[in-house]
């Protein structure tokens, strides 16, 4: 990221907040919209820590079904897609009733990027993790057997979809036009 890393990180955080705002349009009476991190680090996050924890930020939309939404304002590479799935594994462990996993981005992305992930590679990364702070180590601490982890990944990917907001500002303006006068 170089010397502009903080700016890019803040742009991703702002995009994430815009996705959250856009989700408000789907809220009905009795529903809950939450904005949190998988391990609650966002409440304590300083500007200096934002780059380190950017990938852990997660929005959860609660309704008759629960959705875990990962937001990426960056090119979603195979490596980033693996991190997204790993975040979803942790979210699924914490919230057993998640029915949909959604990856939101502002870029063109292959619809098969999640399906084409190398499950064995993910399992090997988790198995070889040390410590307890990395995402792989956190998954390892859950204690899944290799076959359980493979099945968990397959289950999550089968419930996953990708949403693209090319011009999220225009979508927010359009979505809220009946609520505000401009």
The 10s digit of each residue's pLDDT in 72-108 is 888 899 999 999 999 999 989 987 778 888 898 888 8
pLDDT, averaged across the chain: 79
pLDDT band at 51 (very low <50, low <70, confident <90, very high): very low
Per-residue pLDDT at 79: 94
CA separation for the pair 10, 12 (Å, rounded): 5
* Residue of 147, 42, 142 lying closest to 92 (CA atoms): 142
pLDDT of residue 31: 65
Mean pLDDT value across residues 109-136: 93
Give 115's DSSP letter: T
Predicted pLDDT at 134: 93
Pairing of strands 160-164, 98-105: parallel
pTM for the model: 0.76
Query: Tens of pLDDT along 170-182?
Result: 999 999 998 887 7
In this predicted structure, the answer to whether residue 153 has a pLDDT above a threshold of 90 is: yes
- The pLDDT, as a whole number, for residue 145 is 96
Which is more confident, 19 or 157?
A: 157
- DSSP secondary-structure letter at 30? T
């Amino acid at each position: 990221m170089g010397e502009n890393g903080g700016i890019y990180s803040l742009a991703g955080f702002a995009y994430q907040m815009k996705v959250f705002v856009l989700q408000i349009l789907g809220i009905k009476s009795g529903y809950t919209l939450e904005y949190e991190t998988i391990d609650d680090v966002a409440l304590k996050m300083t500007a200096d820590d934002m780059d380190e924890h950017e990938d852990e930020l997660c929005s959860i939309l609660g309704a008759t079904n629960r959705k875990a939404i990962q937001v990426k304002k960056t090119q979603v590479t195979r490596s980033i897609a693996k991190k997204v799935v790993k975040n979803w594994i942790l979210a699924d462990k914490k919230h057993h009733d998640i029915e949909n996993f959604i990856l939101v981005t502002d870029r063109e992305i292959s619809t098969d990027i999640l399906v084409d992930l190398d499950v064995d590679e993910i399992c090997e990364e988790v198995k070889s993790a040390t410590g307890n702070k990395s995402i792989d180590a956190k998954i390892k601490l859950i204690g899944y057997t290799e076959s359980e982890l493979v099945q968990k990944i397959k289950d999550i990917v089968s419930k996953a979809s990708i949403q693209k907001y090319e011009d999220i500002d225009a979508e927010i303006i359009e979505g809220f036009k009946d609520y505000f006068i401009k």
